[in-house]
Amino acid sequence: MSLPPFTSIPGRATCQIGIRVGPSSIAGAGRGVFALENVAAGGPIFSIKEPLLNIVDDEAQSLSHTCDNCFAAKVDELCTVDDLDVKFTPCSGCKVLHYCSEICQTISWKHHHQYECKTYQAIIKDSDPTIKSMIKKLNLRSIVRVLELHQNHQVPAEDWKEILSLSTGRKSKMKKQEFASEANAVAKVAKAFTSSDLSVDKIIDIFCVFHNNQLVIGLPLLRGERCYDPKKYSVVPGGIVLEPLAAMMNHSCSANARWYSNGKELRIRARADIKAGDELTICYDPTEDYTLRRSHLRNFDIDCTCPICQGGDTGPAGPFRRNIFKLSHPRPELKIPKLTGLANAIEAMKQGEFGYGIYPMRDLHQQAYLTHLRRGETAECLKVALKIYYVIEPMIVPPIYEDYRLCTLYTIVSLLNAPPPGTTNLDELPSALKDIISIVFMHLRAKVATDTERCYGADSIVAVFERQFFEKILRKSQEETNGSFKYVLASTDDEERSRFVRKMNGLLEWAGIDTLTERDLI
Ligand SMILES: C[S@@+](CC[C@H](N)C(=O)[O-])C[C@H]1O[C@@H](n2cnc3c(N)ncnc32)[C@H](O)[C@@H]1O
């Protein structure tokens, strides 16, 4: 792929380590981003507080429940900001974009919306219902935003040059009928309604630039107490971000870096230990299924040659795979899978020597957990959740995403804190174990706070919330015990730590899990 050199790291980027853009180390991948310094797994690499373009998603819920400026969002009664009462008010002009406060509305107006609001209104007033409805689409709003900003001299010349130099993958993308008709329709409407002097053909190029380079804005939800479902998302999609520097990062299925969103801020953090000189990679498509993921990657013109892809498909195949998938992802309208069916499938996986460290094994256990939950069996739920967290997830290769781990941890602390509505309490636990529940709970609650900081950064919205939440319950426990309550994560007392490890191993033994070391547990 022959592309012009990347000009320079934009001033809006804050680099926590030195980075450079140069020819990729992956054959045929064009340019790539390289680390100039070592960074340990979990460490920050670079962040951009105000990315070039952030566009709110087009899901019915998102547009009216996400702030176009700060990306505060509300989903199913959970929020990405510490205000459950957050309300979203529409723009009085177009009524399409929403704001969580007047301040956000003013910032958005000055920054971009003053240049596009009239265009939105004109599209909405069109007599053709198909055109009218298109304004809700992320695809059209992205193009309208960038064209109006450019036409009104709001995109710095060097950024515009960078946007136009991004790879489009146009040839392959336009071979797909659905993509081509969407690109054509969006480009024609954008040409007709915006002030842009670019041709329809050039607008199609920009449409492809978005699709080849945008990153999904993933907003972490502030969870707090009751999260009994390990399949429940912890990060919700809020829209897309187009930022040329981040777009320089190439794909690997075992990526060493990852992006996160902190409101509208884009953060790139290390997933693995990275050495000076290493190319930074992110995973464009986290689909676990080998064949499906590789077919998605072809949309980016990528025939991935990462070590995982070279290893081929190591999971179950054919009808066995389909059966496993059906059991672990049952359609809501069908009967929930029986525990015996799930146990047989898990046993068959073991017999097939697929091992524990593969996603289908995690999926089957998650489904077994949910079946127990529906049957009101809290103790059984706890056993399965502990097994997922302490046995299956640590074995998954490449390492499972930290926020997926956090989801499982949330379910464990929720079960330990209070039984889910309509289920049994933890009476089945041997009495010696019942006594340690509060210690285990506090230890894991502290772990939620610490791991959230490691995942998103200690100053992120979600990590600040989790730390404060933990400190609140810690204060309460200390008040109740006249200050004598300690939690293990903070203890430097060796004897106390090994006592905890013994107790924790007692709980794991009850759950059918082999003894673990202090390192695994703390
Ligand atoms: C978001 S861009 C990445 C930056 C790009 N390398 C450039 O120079 O503009 C995505 C494009 O980079 C190339 N690419 C990224 N990862 C790749 C990989 N693992 N193997 C081959 N090509 C890759 C593909 O052409 C893909 O469409």
- pLDDT of amino acid 284: 96
Burial 131-168 (b: 16+ CB within 10 A, else e): beebbbbbbbbbbbbbbbbbeeeebeeebbebbeebbb
Same domain, 213 and 252: no
81: left (phi over 0), alpha (psi -120 to 50) or beta: beta
Residue range 96-121: average pLDDT? 98
Do residue 280 and residue 321 come from a single domain? no
Whether residue 359 is contained in a domain is answered as yes
What is the residue with the minimal CA distance to atom 12 of ligand 1?
Answer: 29
In a domain? residue 229: no
Among the candidates 162, 185, 219, a domain finishes at 219
Cα atoms in the Cβ-side hemisphere of radius 13 Å centred on 422: 6
Same domain, 85 and 110: yes
* Atom of ligand 1 at shortest range from CA of 24: 6
* Across 368-378, average pLDDT: 91
Count of domains observed in the chain: 4
- Segment 468-492 shows an average pLDDT of 81
373 and 390 together in one domain? yes
Three-state SS at 477: helix
User: In terms of pLDDT, which residue wins out, 155 or 495?
Assistant: 155
Q: How far is the CA of 277 from the centre of ligand 1 (A)?
A: 19
Q: Is the CB of 301 under 6 A from ligand 1?
A: yes
**What is residue 147's DSSP assignment?**
H
CA distance 135 to 386: 46
Burial class (CB in 10 A: 0-12, 13-18, 19+), 255: buried
pLDDT band at residue 491 under the 50/70/90 scheme: low
How remote is the C-alpha of 489 from its chain's centroid?
Answer: 26
Lowest mean pLDDT of 28-37, 108-117, 230-239, 246-255, name the range: 230-239
Residue 422 binned pLDDT confidence (cut-offs 50, 70, 90)? confident
| Mean model confidence pLDDT for the chain | 91
Higher-confidence position of 253 and 418: 253
Range list of β-strands (E), 66-214:
74-75, 78-79, 89-90, 98-99
pLDDT greater than 90 at residue 331: no
Instruction: Give the mean model confidence (pLDDT) for residues 462-488.
Output: 86
**Which residue's CA is minimally distant from atom 8 of ligand 1?**
31
151 CA → ligand 1 middle, Å: 28
Residue 225 lies in a domain: no
- In this structure, the strands spanning 279-282 and 250-251 are parallel
Mutate to test the pocket of ligand 1, among 302, 303, 305, 309 (most ligand atoms within 8 A of CB): 302
Q: Rounded to an integer, what distance in angstroms lies between the CA atom of residue 255 and that of residue 331? A: 31
Residue nearest to atom 7 of ligand 1 (CA): 31
Instruction: Give the pair of three-digit tokens for residue 41.
Output: 């797994």
Tell me whether residue 203 is in a domain. yes
Under the banding of pLDDT at 50, 70 and 90, the label for residue 204 is very high
- Nearest CA residue ID for atom 23, ligand 1: 29
Q: Are residues 77 and 47 in the same domain?
A: no
- Asked if residue 376 belongs to a domain, the reply is yes
Give the model's pLDDT for residue 2.
65
Residue 112 lies in a domain: yes
Binding site membership of 392 for ligand 1 (Cβ less than 6 Å):
no
Q: Are 225 and 417 in contact (CB under 8 A)?
A: yes
Does the pLDDT at position 410 exceed 80? yes
Task: Check if 36 has its Cβ closer than 6 Å to any atom of ligand 1.
Answer: no
196 lines ligand 1 (CB under 6 A): no
pLDDT category at 478 given cuts 50, 70, 90 is confident
Residues 6+ apart with CB under 8 A from 102: none
pLDDT digits (tens, 9 = 90+) for 52-76: 999 999 876 689 999 999 999 998 8
Q: Which of 251, 282, 284, 303 to mutate to test the pocket of ligand 1 (most atoms within 8 A of CB)?
A: 251
The pLDDT value recorded for residue 53 is: 97
- Please indicate, yes or no, whether residues 75 and 190 belong to a single structural domain of this protein: yes
- Higher-confidence residue of 281 and 432: namely 281
The verdict on the CB of residue 304 being under 6 Å from ligand 1 is yes
Query: 3-state DSSP helix/strand/coil percent for the chain, to nearest 5?
Result: 50, 15, 35
The verdict on residue 423 lying in a domain is no
Q: By percentage, how much of the chain surpasses pLDDT 70?
A: 98
Kindly give the distance from the C-alpha atom of residue 172 to the centroid of ligand 1, in angstroms, as a whole number.
Answer: 13
Looking at the structure, tell me whether residues 75 and 211 fall in a common domain.
yes
The pLDDT tens digits of the residues spanning 382-393 come to 999 999 999 999
Q: How far is the CA of 167 from the centre of ligand 1 (A)?
A: 8
Regarding whether 318 and 282 lie in a shared domain, the answer is no
Centre of ligand 1 from the C-alpha of residue 296, in Å: 14
Q: Is the dihedral of CA 488, 489, 491, 493 positive or negative?
A: positive
- With bands split at pLDDT 50, 70 and 90, how would you rate the model's confidence at 264? very high
Average pLDDT on 464-487 reads 86
Ranges 202-216, 424-438, 440-454, most confident: 202-216
Which residue minimizes the CA distance to atom 19 of ligand 1? 251
Rounded distance from Cα 237 to ligand 1 centre (Å): 23
Per-residue pLDDT tens over the stretch 393-405: 999 888 888 989 9
My answer on whether 304 and 320 are in the same domain is no
| Ligand 1 contacts CB of residue 29 (under 6 A) | yes
Grade residue 490 by pLDDT with cuts at 50, 70 and 90.
low
Ligand 1 site-directed mutation target among 245, 250, 280, most atoms within 8 Å of CB: 250
SS3 assignment, position 15 = strand
In this predicted structure, what is the pLDDT of residue 1?
65
Residues 71 and 20 in one domain: no
Domain stops at, among 269, 287, 310: 310
pLDDT over 70 (residue 416): yes
* pLDDT exceeds cutoff 70 at 153: yes
Cβ–ligand 1 distance for 169 under 6 Å, the answer: yes
ipTM of the complex: 0.99
Burial of 237 (0-12, 13-18, 19+ CB in 10 A): middle
CA 49 – ligand 1 centroid, Å: 24
Residue 167 CA: which ligand 1 atom is closest?
9
Q: Looking at the structure, do residues 477 and 441 belong to the same domain, yes or no?
A: yes
Average pLDDT score over residue span 188-206: 97
What is the mean predicted confidence (pLDDT) over 413-442? Answer: 82
Q: Which of 77-86, 183-192, 263-272, 421-430 has the lowest mean pLDDT?
A: 421-430
Residue 456 and residue 267 in contact, taking contact as beta carbons nearer than 8 Å: yes
Pick the residue with more confidence: 93 or 327?
A: 93
Residue 298 belongs to domain with CATH number? 2.170.270.10
Q: Are residues 260 and 356 in the same domain?
A: no
CA of 98 to the centre of ligand 1 (A): 34
DSSP state of 427: G
Q: Which domain holds residue 331?
A: 314-400
